[in-house]
Structure 1
Amino acid sequence: MRVYRTAPRRAFTTFSNALLRDATISWCAVGLLTYLVSLPNGAKASIRKLSEQRKEGRDRIGSALQELEDARYLRRLTRRDGRGQLRTEYEVFDTPYDPEAPEPAATPGGAPATGLTPETAGNPASGDPDHGVPGPLPTGEKTGVKEPPSPAIRLLTSLGRSDPRLALGAGEAERLRTLVEEWWAAGASDALIREALTSGLPARVHAPAALLADRLRRKKPAPRPAAPVRPECGVCGTPVPEGASCARCEPSAPAVAGFVAAALRGGASVRQVLRRRC
């Protein structure tokens, strides 16, 4: 295949290969996201208008928007406007956003600082599919609060912020999560995992998830050997040979008991001699 590219000088949008090759979202979701990102900040859109511009129907558009939300390319925020009514605002990102980053403050007019504004000012829970993108929130999710990602997923998704070649989708990070946890179980630190995953990368990374999975499996350190158990007396904590008992706390053998008694008598005699000389 030969690829011919032009170099536009105006009215263009730049996307990273990590976005265009993210296998965790469908072709429809990728195309829809590139269109939404190309819109000016504060643009208005709805499922109805999006479906009218292409051959996909409302159901397909709604499904693609849900994919983008699951992969953290789209975020919906619920805020109160100046009249005290709840409004849903939408933000779109060209790379998965950090769920722990603080939400941007709203502009004075109530619109989000970045992202996509719903077309309709109606109640987002009214059930009308045209009331914004991507439609009403399910019951129990109207506050926009989600389960925080696990530490392993946070580590994996942070790699893409340091090096765009290693950008992962939410589904890819979830599939690699257990491999990172195996490294931690073997005693590896976060710094060691990052070094193993980011050092010596090729100039072009075509499949970051596959590359990271290979490194996590191939370079996983051996489990740490268990520390040897040091036998000691259960009463006083004095180290004792394996299988032996403490002569001080358990003088069970007559020879050991006699030796201990003689040592005690000898110590008392020495102390008496020292007192007389003083």
Structure 2
Amino acid sequence: MRVYRTAPTRAFTTFSNALLRDATISWCAVGLLAYLVSLPNGAKASIRKLSDQRKEGRDRIGAALRELEEARYLRRLTRRDRMGQLRTEYEVFDTPYDPEASHPGPAAAPAAGPAAAPVPETAGNPASGDPDHGAPGPLPPGEKTGVKEPPSPAARLLTSLGRSDPRLALGEGEAERLRTLVEEWWAVGASDALIREALTSGLPARVHAPAALVADRLRRKKPAPRPTAPVRPECGVCGAPVPEGASCTRCAPATPAVAGFVAAALRGGASVRQVLRRRR
């Protein structure tokens, strides 16, 4: 491969090769980070605005933002403005920041220039992949800022699909809405491996709506309940199998005729055994 480069004199951003070659994040996340780092201080970004500028949908943009947050290229901050409304802001870093430090260290400090300030998220929540619905309102009394309920096991299974195949990247909100379909599979005895196989095999080259595809496959491919073995009638006293509607001959009270037949059968059996022993 031969690479031709130009020498820009204005409106350019410098990146470290380590950022562009970080294999822990997807190509989509790398491209999104490069764009966010190139923005000027105080720029406003939302999932809707970012998805409108490129062909990736809101789900892919939300998944890429979560990747950057997990890799410590992006940090979410929740602040209350002068009107008492909560605002979610993102600090963007061109190298992973130190989570133990009270503020970014020299190695992880924002680069001077266009990417030095946080990128405010004024509509929606990129970390959850939710659509833009305007700025959130004041918190109810007693609710803590930034505290989220842990995802359900079914939601964790669905969000993990995007790590193995970016085409199935789902937001936390989408996964929670689909968790009942996964629980229906578990109820009929399906394993996690069977669910993953049903959702990831034979995917089209491009998936435009991952949540809709996952929901359709979960409904359409759900296996039938496992057949239960027929219950064999048993004697309530000794547990011996008995025919349907009959009683146990050993435990039920025997009539004189039945008792005589049983006694004769036992005597006959004893006689046969005695003859066989003599022949030996």
Query: How far is the alpha carbon of 1:46 from its aligned partner?
Result: 7.6
Q: Is the 8 A contact 1:232 1:239 kept in 2?
A: yes
What corresponds to 2:245 in structure 1? 243
Query: How far is the alpha carbon of 1:158 from its aligned partner?
Result: 0.8
Structure 1 15/258 Cα, relative in aligned 2: closer, same or farther at 3 Å?
Answer: farther
Match for residue 207 of structure 2 among 197, 201, 205: 205
Structure 1 232/173 Cα, relative in aligned 2: closer, same or farther at 3 Å?
Answer: same
- 2: CA distance between counterparts of 1:204 and 1:148? 31
- 2: CA distance between counterparts of 1:250 and 1:209? 62
Please give the residue correspondences for 1:38-187 in structure 2 after superposition, counting only pairs within 5 Å: 47=79, 59=85, 62-63=86-87, 65=88, 106-107=99-100, 109-111=101-103, 139=142, 141=144, 147-187=149-189
**Range moving further from structure 2, 267-276 or 205-214:** 267-276
1:68-114 deviations in whole A, cap 9, x for unaligned? xxxxxx9xxxxxxxxxxxxxxx9889xxxxxxxxxx9843x445899
Q: Is the 8 A contact 1:157 1:168 kept in 2?
A: yes
Sequence identity of aligned pairs in percent? 67
Q: Is the 8 A contact 1:251 1:257 kept in 2?
A: no
1:182 maps to a residue whose letter is: E
- 1: CA distance between counterparts of 2:59 and 2:74? 29
Query: How far is the alpha carbon of 1:263 from its aligned partner?
Result: 2.3
Q: Given the two structures, how large is their TM-score scaled by the length of structure 1?
A: 0.54
What corresponds to 1:15 in structure 2? 32
1:15 alignment partner, SS class: helix
- Structure 1: segments with no counterpart, 5+ residues: 1-7, 66-73, 75-89, 94-103, 120-134
- 1: CA distance between counterparts of 2:198 and 2:109? 35
Structure 1 178/41 Cα, relative in aligned 2: closer, same or farther at 3 Å?
Answer: closer
Q: Is the 8 A contact 1:232 1:240 kept in 2?
A: yes
Match for residue 194 of structure 2 among 185, 192, 195: 192
RMSD: 4.9
Q: Is the 8 A contact 2:233 2:244 kept in 1?
A: yes
- 2: CA distance between counterparts of 1:140 and 1:154? 24
Structure 1 41/151 Cα, relative in aligned 2: closer, same or farther at 3 Å?
Answer: closer
Q: Is the 8 A contact 1:196 1:215 kept in 2?
A: yes
2:227 maps to a residue whose letter is: P
Query: How far is the alpha carbon of 1:184 from its aligned partner?
Result: 1.5
2:31 maps to a residue whose letter is: T
Q: Is the 8 A contact 1:24 1:171 kept in 2?
A: no
Query: How far is the alpha carbon of 1:137 from its aligned partner?
Result: 11
Q: Are positions 1:225 and 2:227 aligned together?
A: yes
Count residues in correspondence: 201
1:22-51 deviations in whole A, cap 9, x for unaligned? 3699xxxx7xx69x97xx969897848xx8
Structure 1 204/270 Cα, relative in aligned 2: closer, same or farther at 3 Å?
Answer: same
Query: How far is the alpha carbon of 1:160 from its aligned partner?
Result: 0.9
1:174 alignment partner, SS class: helix
Q: Is the 8 A contact 1:248 1:260 kept in 2?
A: no
1:47-70 deviations in whole A, cap 9, x for unaligned? 48xx89xxxx873xx25x2xxxxx
Q: Given the two structures, how large is their TM-score scaled by the length of structure 2?
A: 0.54
